[in-house]
Chains A and B, each alone.
Chain A
């Protein structure tokens, strides 16, 4: 069997490897997206005091540490006897401000740095051009906006948590620091950095960009790596609207039928099972009652817009209508629409940040609460890439005895494998030679999910693209390093 290896996949957050297995006629027989990193956080956090969890687990990642910090904090809140609604208003709002800042900067990072080169230059552009530096050279105004949008989100994180990466905000039952009036003004007055109003305007502009792009490339966006799937995300407990911090878990199938009906976070174990495959360290979660074959779900921006019934902020709500009109109000299973959905969420986060920055509660000293101690806590949050579950059990000496983490990219494991299969069968199969363009299309399909494989800490910062192709006897017949 011929084997093509793409190792590592570039422009995703971390390392991954794709193998495509061909038969003797160069027809694709099978394909796999391997996650070969092993972190072991669930194990080595055992024995640590529970209050260390929000600080320790965020070291999983250099891209989305805030999400891990807050998911762990929500779980630890339960251990000190508090549900999310029991926290003080100021603590809830400061945490949400941190959360929206994180999603805003992460989505900006993904679109401007990772996805836009594919959209602006196309699959066939040289790799030396098809990257964010190429975007900066050819579209400097777009690049500058991308840089400043990411910076704005990072500055929000720095204000709330002390530093841009691996800061600390949440403490058991609340937060440890309020926002000062001067800190708040920095984001409102536009003197040192563009203001939050500018962020909203730029978010609208980039949505306009993707809508124009869609009007010119509708067939590609509709068809590329599209396949039916379930969708999972949090929704607001009262009205089913888009919810990123705390809500009920809802899942639907590819046609919109409810498969998980707004369950409480604490019940997740009754509905989810994590399958394993010997070729990947990443598990394959699915809904038990639906079964492994059909019970897997996409998570992230596309899934969230599919499962929600509306958006609470007016500008993002308006943009959601155009998004839904593109599929005649039907459930959207088109992978490339993830980019559009991500930008609508970016606008929503900007609107929410403005609302929170203007709320005087964030200046309050009413920061922490305490309840009746428990031995178990579950925190579920919508991270930039999708639903993130943290679950801890502790003993009477406050030591963590069990930890279970289901991260967003894990939920998307099956979905990313389906995306790779789509490209393998529709683009590569039957071709005599594997081109750079074909390889890049595999990556484009994966990148739509913005997978976070835990990175930012590579020893020497080198990440070449290495491609190896083997004939059916296992002989290396082609090898490329970009």
Chain B
């Protein structure tokens, strides 16, 4: 069993410009962080992640978002839900929570940190706006969540 009770999962792909926001956020935690939480990188959430998060009491999913976000990021509660996409290659955080609940009878505190991205081409590196949003999200997280 893991010692930490919290895990932060960065979702995305650094080879797809702003889709790398989730991973880059995790990178920043590695540099600055914390032994309070375990960190994980995912291209996509899959069903086995339900088994993973059952080892924790709290999970935070960090992902790029296309939606317009007033502050450039959003930190919100994540509730279990049987949301389906047609493909099961990738699950949304809500469904992973639901699976953790149904398969393993585990109820967790869960949040989503969404960071707005703008460009998704096959290229490494964030757009300037996404980099700005990442900085704001990190500042919020370090000031309000970690401390």
Residue pair B99, A10 in contact (C-beta under 8 Å): no
A165 to B41, CA, bound (A): 11
Point out the residues of chain A lying under 8 angstroms from B43, CB to CB: 62, 165, 456-457, 461
- Known contacts A62-B43, A144-B103, A457-B13: A463-B87 contact under CB 8 Å: yes
Point out the residues of chain B lying under 8 angstroms from A144, CB to CB: 51, 103-104
A150 to B48, CA, bound (A): 8
Residue pair A148, B87 in contact (C-beta under 8 Å): no
Closest CB of chain A to B24's CB: distance in Å? 15
Within 8 A of B (CB), among A88-129: 113-114, 127-128
Interface: A460 (CB within 8 A)? yes
Interface: A137 (CB within 8 A)? yes
Closest CB of chain A to B87's CB: distance in Å? 4
Interface: A390 (CB within 8 A)? no
Closest CB of chain B to A481's CB: distance in Å? 9
A11 to B102, CA, bound (A): 23
A464 to B90, CA, bound (A): 11
Please tell me the number of chain A residues within 8 Å of chain B, measured between CB atoms.
32
Shortest Cβ distance from B45 into A: residue = A461
Closest CB of chain B to A391's CB: distance in Å? 26
Residue pair A132, B82 in contact (C-beta under 8 Å): no
Interface: B66 (CB within 8 A)? yes
- Known contacts A132-B47, A457-B43: A462-B13 contact under CB 8 Å: no
A147 to B104, CA, bound (A): 12
Interface: B88 (CB within 8 A)? yes
A10 to B29, CA, bound (A): 35
Closest CB of chain B to A462's CB: distance in Å? 7
Point out the residues of chain A lying under 8 angstroms from B48, CB to CB: 147, 150-151
Interface: A49 (CB within 8 A)? no
Interface: A140 (CB within 8 A)? yes
Closest CB of chain A to B49's CB: distance in Å? 10
A150 to B50, CA, bound (A): 13
A461 to B90, CA, bound (A): 6
Q: Please indicate which of the listed interface residues A136, A137, A460, A464 has the most CB atoms of chain B within 10 Å of its own CB.
A: A460
Q: Please indicate which of the listed interface residues B13, B16, B47, B82 has the most CB atoms of chain A within 10 Å of its own CB.
A: B47
Binary interface profile of A, 1-45, with partner B (CB < 8 Å = 1, else 0)?
Answer: 000000000110000000000000000000000000000000000
Interface: A476 (CB within 8 A)? no
Closest CB of chain A to B18's CB: distance in Å? 9
- Known contacts A137-B102, A144-B103, A464-B86: A459-B120 contact under CB 8 Å: yes
Interface: A465 (CB within 8 A)? yes
Interface: B116 (CB within 8 A)? no
Residue pair B15, A457 in contact (C-beta under 8 Å): yes
Within 8 A of B (CB), among A158-197: 165
Interface: B91 (CB within 8 A)? yes
Residue pair B85, A136 in contact (C-beta under 8 Å): no
Closest CB of chain A to B120's CB: distance in Å? 4
Interface: B84 (CB within 8 A)? yes
Interface: A238 (CB within 8 A)? no
Closest CB of chain B to A256's CB: distance in Å? 37
Binary interface profile of B, 8-52, with partner A (CB < 8 Å = 1, else 0)?
Answer: 000101011001000000000000000000000001110110110
A464 to B86, CA, bound (A): 6
- Known contacts A456-B43, A459-B19, A460-B19: A143-B103 contact under CB 8 Å: yes
Closest CB of chain B to A226's CB: distance in Å? 27
Residue pair A136, B16 in contact (C-beta under 8 Å): no
Point out the residues of chain A lying under 8 angstroms from B89, CB to CB: 11, 455-456, 458, 461, 463
Within 8 A of B (CB), among A134-160: 136-137, 140, 143-144, 147-148, 150-151
Residue pair A458, B47 in contact (C-beta under 8 Å): no
Residue pair A140, B87 in contact (C-beta under 8 Å): no
- Known contacts A11-B87, A456-B43, A456-B44: A148-B51 contact under CB 8 Å: yes
Residue pair B85, A464 in contact (C-beta under 8 Å): yes
Residue pair A459, B88 in contact (C-beta under 8 Å): no
Q: Among A148, A459, A462, point to the contact of B85 (Cβ < 8 A).
A: A462
A147 to B51, CA, bound (A): 8
Q: Among B11, B19, B45, B50, point to the contact of A147 (Cβ < 8 A).
A: B50
Q: Please indicate which of the listed interface residues A147, A455, A456, A464 has the most CB atoms of chain B within 10 Å of its own CB.
A: A147
Q: Among A132, A455, A462, point to the contact of B88 (Cβ < 8 A).
A: A132
A284 to B104, CA, bound (A): 46
Point out the residues of chain A lying under 8 angstroms from B19, CB to CB: 459-460
Interface: B6 (CB within 8 A)? no
Binary interface profile of B, 49-88, with partner A (CB < 8 Å = 1, else 0)?
Answer: 0110000000000001010000000000000001011111
Residue pair A143, B47 in contact (C-beta under 8 Å): yes
Point out the residues of chain A lying under 8 angstroms from B90, CB to CB: 458, 461-463
Interface: B133 (CB within 8 A)? no
Point out the residues of chain B lying under 8 angstroms from A62, CB to CB: 43
Closest CB of chain B to A10's CB: distance in Å? 5
Closest CB of chain B to A132's CB: distance in Å? 4
Interface: A324 (CB within 8 A)? no
A11 to B85, CA, bound (A): 11
Point out the residues of chain B lying under 8 angstroms from A114, CB to CB: 88
Point out the residues of chain A lying under 8 angstroms from B13, CB to CB: 457-459
Q: Please name the 9 residue pairs, one residue from A and one from B, whose CB atoms are nearest each other, closest first.
A: A461-B90, A463-B87, A459-B120, A482-B86, A132-B88, A131-B88, A459-B16, A461-B44, A10-B87
Q: 16 additional contacts, CB 8 Å, given A457-B16, A465-B87?
A: A11-B88, A113-B88, A114-B88, A127-B84, A133-B82, A136-B50, A136-B99, A147-B48, A165-B43, A455-B89, A458-B13, A459-B13, A459-B16, A459-B120, A461-B44, A464-B86
Between A and B, 5 residue pairs with Cβ closer than 8 Å are A62-B43, A133-B84, A140-B102, A461-B89, A464-B85
